[in-house]
Amino acid sequence: MRVVIAEDNALLREGLILLLSSSGHEVAGVASTGPEVLPLLLEHRPDIAVLDVRMPPGFRDEGLRAALAARRELPDLPVLVLSQYVEETYAAELLSGGARGVGYLLKDRVGRVDEFLDALERVAGGGTALDPEVVTELLSRRRDCPLEVLTPREREVLELMAQGHGNGTIADSLTITERSVHKHIGNVFAKLGLPPGESGGHRRVLAVLAYLNA
């Protein structure tokens, strides 16, 4: 797939280029500052953008703002955002516009090559990929919210859904059957009041959004 990278740290940037190239992907363009990102994305229209949250000149949220602007211009553009720390507001803001083709990973996840490449593929395919530490942080800050109607097992299933995992992986992680996973997900949909007429994939996205925005 064709990838645009936006990262100001030269060492990480070159590492990403090497990793993606050696994995059979094409790095279509590279940006090292926030203002470079949107023009680069509009020029190359890649299969996925991998963006740092904080970039020059302000080192605040330039990468995130570029990602949000890019998704307004290119609504189907998959975006995988990298961050040094768990920044709840940024994760929620990125996902609030629709969770299709969106990922938010901590930078040390890049060093876990298989996990990073799996997340890249999921996001490029229209799925979600949230770092487990981000999900844990988001979950720990939620109190007295609609998710309280879920059982502990249903919350575990929803947490793994938010990370972007399919039913088979969820079943393996929780040591339960896929049939049980399917039942728990059905309960999550019902308790969160998700539209019964929606397709299964979109309802998973809505569940993740309900989880993040609760």
For residue 206, the Cα-to-chain-centroid distance in whole angstroms is 14
- Half-sphere exposure at residue 140, Cβ-oriented, CA atoms within 13 angstroms: 8
Q: What CATH architecture is 142-213?
A: Orthogonal Bundle (1.10)
For the segment 11-63, what is each residue's pLDDT rounded down to a tens digit?
A: 999 999 999 999 999 999 999 999 999 999 999 999 999 999 889 998 888 88
83 DSSP 8-state letter: E
Question: Minimal CA–CA distance to 71: which of 53, 45, 92?
Answer: 45
CB 61 within 8 A of CB 71: no
The pLDDT, as a whole number, for residue 199 is 46
Q: Taking the domains of the chain in order of start, what are their residue ranges?
A: 2-131, 142-213
pTM of the model: 0.72
**Residue 67 above 90 pLDDT?**
no
28-42: per-residue pLDDT in tens?
999 999 999 999 999
At the topology level, CATH places domain 2-131 in: Rossmann fold (3.40.50)
Give the DSSP per-residue string, 89-158. HHHHHHHHT--TTEEEEEGGGGGSHHHHHHHHHHHHTT-EEE-HHHHHHHHHT--SSGGGGS-HHHHHHH
Residue whose C-alpha is closest to residue 26's, from 6, 3, 7: 3
Could you report how far apart the first and last alpha carbons of the chain are, in Å? 34
